[in-house]
Amino acid sequence: MRRAYYAEVAGRYWRRSVTEAEIDQGLLDFPDDELTAPTGRFVVGRLDGRPLACGGIRLLDPVTAELTRVYVDPRARGTGGGAALLRVLEDAGRALGAERVRLDTRSDLVEARALYARQGYAEIPAYSSGPYAEHWFEKRLV
């Protein structure tokens, strides 16, 4: 799932297909080490038994969690899987003690931005910086 996520977001950013070597390098450049217990989680969503969605959540501070690597395969878009994935990630955030969840995303990821807005995420001022952070969202969990 992480490879599919990286292939899509990098390919859309670069506006071309991404090579396997570029995916390998991207996974090394952006590791998911923080998405494990005790301060994070990574989940995989399935449709008819096939892994078609994923996402991670990690604590930024004791009451703030951050979503990252949220991805729904194009074959599963429009099925409600994205909303279900966010609910699972939000529950994981609550279990970590978070009172709010934040995320950043790019302008070209219009489907993701629409999903977040539909699920109650509001745009907020920038809370982070990075080459791919163009929009910032937050949702209260309590």
Classified as helix, coil or strand, 43 is: strand
Res 136: pLDDT: 98
Q: What is the pLDDT along the chain (142 residues), one digit of tens a residue?
A: 999 999 999 999 999 999 999 999 999 998 999 999 999 999 999 999 999 999 999 999 999 999 999 999 999 999 999 999 999 999 999 999 999 999 999 999 999 999 999 999 999 999 999 889 999 999 999 9
DSSP annotation string for 11-35: HHHHTSPPPHHHHHHHHHHS--TTS
Res 51: pLDDT: 97
Res 127: pLDDT: 97
Q: What predicted TM-score, i.e. pTM, was given to this entire model? A: 0.94
Q: Which two tokens stand for residue 11?
A: 């390919």
What is the spatial distance between Cα 36 and Cα 27, in angstroms, rounded to a whole number? Answer: 16
42 closest CA partner among 97, 98, 93, 7: 93
Res 138: pLDDT: 98
